[in-house]
Amino acid sequence: METLDVNQHRFANVISDINKELQDRGYLAHEDLPVNDMSVEMTCPVPKAKAQLRQLMSEMRAQNFNVIIFATYRTACKLRFIQKQTHLCQIDIWNMIEAFRENALHTLEPHSEIDTARLEALLYTAFSQLNKRLPQVQLVNVDRCVSLTLNWLMSAYDRESTGHIQAFAVKVALAHLSSGKLVDKLRYIFTLISDSYGHMIRSRFDEYLRDLLLLPAAVNEGTSFRYSEEAARTFFDSNPVTVNDFLSVMMAIPGRQCLMWLPALNRMAHVESVIHPVQCDACHRASIAGFRYKCRRCCNYNLCQDCFWRGKTSGNHSNDHDMKEHTSYRSGSKQVGRAIMKSLDCVPSKSVGSQLPHFPDTPQKTLDLSYIIPPTPLPVHNGFKDHSSTHSMDIASLQNSPQSRSIRKLTTSSESCRVDDEHRLIARYAARLAADENKA
C-alpha cells in the first residue's frame, strides 16, 4: 500500500510538471489546467476520512433506526448496518483470525498499539482474501471497504486522534463484527483474556468489556450500554473462571443489561432470510420476514419486527403484553405434536446452558509429531491454507471443539489427501518402532 501511495504521488508530480511546462509555453491557459484531485487527496487525508465517516453516519440516520423503542434492537440494527456497509459480515471469524496471524498481531502484547498503516494492511489482507473466495459477480471494492472500516474503527477507538489503536481493541472489534457463531467468537476472545491454565484474568476481562462497549458508543448508543467497574465485577461469582463459565454468562438470554445487544446482533444476522407464512396483525402484511413476535396473552396474535420494534399494535393487544421472539416458523401440526411429546416428557426442556457445548476447562496441548514425519505442504482452499496450522498458536484451546468450523468444508479431493497423510504417518511410525526393536 505504501509503495502504491508513493507511485501515485510521483505520478501526480509528473503530471503537474508537464502541465506547468505546457502553460509556460502558452499551450494551456491557467483556467484550462485540470484539477489535480490526486494531490488534493494526498495532502488532505483527514478531511477525506471525516467526509467518508460523515456520509456513513448520515446513511445510517437515513435508515431511521432511532424510531425503534427498544435499545437492544436499536443498537443491534445500527451495528448490523455497519457490518453490511463495510462488508465485515462477509468475513468469517476464522478468516479474520487468520488475517490477524498473517499480520503478526498474535505476537503483540495486549497493550501494544498499532498505527493506521498496520491496521490498513490488516484490513487489506482480510478483504483481498475475501475476494478470492467470492464469485466474480459478488466481488467487493477492497479499497472502499478498507478505507471505510479503517475510518470507523479509528473514530470508535482513537478518540484522542493519536493515529494509533491498541491491538487488543482491534481484535475485539473485528472478531465481533465478523460473521460466524457467537460461541466461536467468544471462545476466541477467551484465549485473549485467559492464562496458560485456561483461567480468565479479571483485569483482561475488564479491558475486553470496556473495548466491547465502545461498539454501541460508536453508533451513539453509549448511554444505553455504558461500562461500569461495578457491573464488571458482578459478572462472575466463581473463581477461577473457565471457558465454560465465560460462555454461560456471556451467552445467557436475556443476560447482563450492558450486553443484551450482543446476542441480538448475532441472531439478527441469522434470521434476515427467514420468512414466516404468517400475517402481521398490525400492518397486515401477508408474510413476516426476519423476527416474528407472538403474544403470550392474545390468541394467535403475531407482529412483524418492524411493528414490534416501533410499538405498533392493533385490537386489544397492548405493548405491556408478554411477547415471544421466534426466529423460525413451525406449522400448527408440528406445534401440536411437540406439545403432546412435551406433555409426555419425550422432549427435554431447553435452557441456554444445556444448548451450549462443553469444552475442556484447560487448554489442550497438540501432539508434536515432527520427529516422526516431516511436514508436508497443505492444500490451499480458495486462497487459504488449512486452518489447523494457521490457528495453532492463537486459539490452541479451540482445536478440540465438538462443533465443526464454519469454514472447514473440505472437498473430496482434500479429504483423500488427508487420509493419505494419515496412512503415511502410520507407516512411518511403524517403521520407526520396528527399527528401534531391531536395535534393541
At 328 the pLDDT is 87
Look at 74-78, 119-123, 293-297, 332-336 and tell me which has the smallest mean pLDDT. 332-336
Of all residues in the chain, the percent with pLDDT exceeding 70 is 65
pLDDT reading at 67 higher than 60? yes
- 410, 418 contact by CB (below 8 A): yes
286-297: pLDDT as tens digits: 999 999 999 999
- Respond yes or no on whether the N-terminal peptide bond of residue 34 is cis (omega within 30° of 0): no
Return phi, psi of residue 226, to 5°. Answer: -100, 145
C-alpha 398/C-alpha 402 separation (Å) is 10
Quick one: average pLDDT of 222-245?
Answer: 88
- pLDDT at position 18, please? 62
Who wins on pLDDT, 270 or 45?
Answer: 270
DSSP conformation class of 213: T
Task: Please state which of the ranges 90-99, 209-218, 250-259, 402-411 shows the lowest mean pLDDT.
Answer: 402-411
Q: How far apart are CA 326 and CA 293, in angstroms?
A: 6
Burial tier of 16 (Cβ tally within 10 Å: 0-12, 13-18, 19+)? middle
> What is residue 170's predicted lDDT score, i.e. its pLDDT?
97
Contact 192, 258 (CB under 8 A): no
C-alpha cell, 329: 416458523
Confidence of residue 267 (pLDDT cuts 50, 70, 90): very high
How many Å from the N-terminal Cα to the C-terminal Cα in the chain? Answer: 60
- CA distances 123 to 107, 144, 218, 369, Å, are 17, 11, 19, 34
Residue 415's contacts (CB-CB under 8 Å, 6 or more residues apart) are none
User: What sign for the dihedral angle of Cα 355, 363, 114, 159?
Assistant: positive
Q: Identify which has the larger pLDDT, 416 or 430.
A: 430
Mean model confidence pLDDT for the chain: 78
Cell (9 digits) for 298: 392474545
Task: Indicate if the pLDDT at residue 353 is higher than 50.
Answer: no
Q: Is the pLDDT of residue 362 over 80?
A: no
With a CB cutoff of 8 Å and minimum separation 6, the contacts of 24 are: none
pTM over 0.85: no
Q: Which residue has the higher pLDDT, 25 or 304?
A: 304
- For 333, the grid coordinates are 401440526
Q: If you average pLDDT over residues 300-311, what whole number do you get?
A: 94
Q: Closest by alpha carbon to 381, among 392, 371, 389?
A: 389
Comparing CA positions, the residue from 148, 143, 170, 146 lying closest to residue 158 is 170
* 207 vs 334, more confident: 207
Residue 375 predicted with pLDDT over 80: no
d(CA 90, CA 335): 34
How far apart are the C-alpha atoms of 87 and 85, rounded to whole Å? 6
pLDDT of res. 48: 77
Task: Please state which of the ranges 93-102, 167-176, 273-282, 331-340 shows the lowest mean pLDDT.
Answer: 331-340
Q: How many residues does the chain have?
A: 440
Higher pLDDT, 229 or 48: 229
* Confidence band, pLDDT 50/70/90 cuts, at residue 437: low
Take residue 417 and report the three cell numbers written for it: 489427501
Tell whether the model's pLDDT for residue 303 goes beyond 70: yes
Is pLDDT at 43 greater than 90 in this prediction?
Answer: no
Q: Is the pLDDT of residue 300 over 50?
A: yes
Highest mean pLDDT, choosing among 102-116, 364-378, 387-401: 102-116
* Interval 41-50 mean pLDDT: 56
pLDDT at 231: 83
Per-residue confidence (pLDDT) for residue 409, from 0 to 100:
41
